[in-house]
Amino acid sequence: MGLFILIVVFAICVVIGFPVAFALGVAAVSSFFYEGLPMMIAFQRIISGISIFSLMAIPFFIFAGELMFHGGIAIRLVHFASAAVGSVRGGLGVVNVLSSMLFGGISGSAIADVSALGSILIPVMKEKGYDDDYAVNVTVTSSIAGIIIPPSHNMIIYAVAAGGSLSISKLFLAGFFPGVLMCLCLAAVSYLVAVKRGYTSEVFPGFVILFKNFFTALPGLFTAIIIVGGVLSGIFTVTESGAFGAIYAFFATIIVYRALTWDKFKLAVTNSVRTTSMVMILIACSGAFAYLLTFYQVPEKMASFLTGISDNPVVILLMINLMLLFLGMIMDMAALILICTPIFLPIAVSIGVDPYQFGMLLMMNLGLGLCTPPVGSCLFVGCAVGDVRLEDAVKTIWPFYLAILIALMFVTFVPAISMTLPNLIG
């Protein structure tokens, strides 16, 4: 009965419009009352959920991403990507994917990717004769690269949800090949759809312009090198690398690009504080919620349910993927990382899946949820930026979904894609 109350109260709160963080907190407190457990335990779990030093990296990552969003780095990356692959048939679609891979690898945020690159590329693609739905669909689906390609604050959340025993530097490395693989699949689909629709290509500007645009974009790309390289080399902790990355992004946007005005800086700070507050409240309330999931033995019951259907690891992984895909369609990503990791990670480990590989599987599934109705935040933002009706975008987005699913199947069943780089550092 207590588990029923936990789930039903949470569902009711979400349906009536509560923020997910507060829905988790209210559901947890309701179950604590029902079980007669001391409320002190609930508050201890809430506080302990955010009393983790590595979480300090999240506001720095978010702030660095906001500075780069408002500081002119996105447009430089677009110019470089356009010079590099714009001459391909339907090249602006491929440019969009490559730009997302580069910018996502810096900002670590899918929403920032859609907002920054969408406002630049979607109008240009329309002007060049690309259909509205195509421009939006490429932008929205390629934005998932920001979640997978390091650095990503969602990976820090996953590390915390997994019990704090995972190396964040290894998680960063594990995301590189899956993110690139997904972008290659999306680029291939973008090209095929462009050929089918008869889109034209851009003129190759020459190697001089290509190298010029590369060196112009290099200061922005160097942000990711500082953050990821600092962690992998052992020079910085993940929190210190986030701080240095934010400081570098601040000076790069002011001194190098000279695009960060006072008003844009205030907006970056405001957005960073708002996003960080939301994430931290979510992590705090999920601590109490996760405690009750363990109290009601949900992971064990879920494991028994899945193994009761089949003991084949392939079938179990497919069922986990389906569950995560469905949940990603109806709930916020950060909340699902915190809720699903304690449930599904032990099951995955029990059938031989490495926790780092499972993290990439989790990120890709929930990332796809950001692009699917009814609550796909990236899809909504992309449609708003591109001034396209949601129904029109969804009708033609399925080839891009298919590309992501193909990459997901490779990541699920070919461990080397995720584990090659982490294994290099032991």
Q: Is the pLDDT of residue 11 over 70?
A: yes
Predicted local confidence at residue 106, as pLDDT: 62
Overall average pLDDT of the 159-185 stretch: 88
Query: Which string of DSSP letters, residue by residue, matches 54-68?
Result: GGGHHHHHHHHHHHH
Q: Burial-class residue 45 by CB neighbours within 10 Å (0-12, 13-18, 19+).
A: buried
For 194: left if phi > 0, alpha if psi spans -120 to 50, otherwise beta; the answer is alpha
The pTM assigned to this predicted structure is: 0.83
- Directed axis angle between helix 132-142 and helix 168-197, to 10°? 160
Overall average pLDDT of the 35-42 stretch: 81
Predicted local confidence at residue 369, as pLDDT: 84
Q: What is the mean pLDDT of the chain?
A: 83
Q: Which two tokens stand for residue 177?
A: 């090949």
Residue bearing tokens 């699902």: 336
Q: Is the pLDDT of residue 410 over 90?
A: yes
**What share of the chain in percent tops pLDDT 70?**
97
Task: Say if residues 204 and 86 touch (Cβ distance below 8 Å).
Answer: yes
Predicted local confidence at residue 64, as pLDDT: 80
Predicted local confidence at residue 361, as pLDDT: 93
Predicted local confidence at residue 426, as pLDDT: 62
Overall average pLDDT of the 306-334 stretch: 85
Overall average pLDDT of the 316-336 stretch: 85
pLDDT digits (tens, 9 = 90+) for 65-113: 778 777 777 778 777 887 877 777 777 788 888 877 777 666 566 776 7
Q: Is the pLDDT of residue 405 over 70?
A: yes
Q: Is the pLDDT of residue 394 over 90?
A: no
pLDDT digits (tens, 9 = 90+) for 111-127: 767 777 777 778 877 87
Overall average pLDDT of the 161-189 stretch: 88
Higher pLDDT, 215 or 91: 215
pLDDT digits (tens, 9 = 90+) for 230-256: 777 777 777 888 888 888 888 888 888
Predicted local confidence at residue 104, as pLDDT: 67
12: number of CA atoms within 13 Å, CB side? 9
pLDDT tier for residue 23 given thresholds of 50, 70 and 90: confident
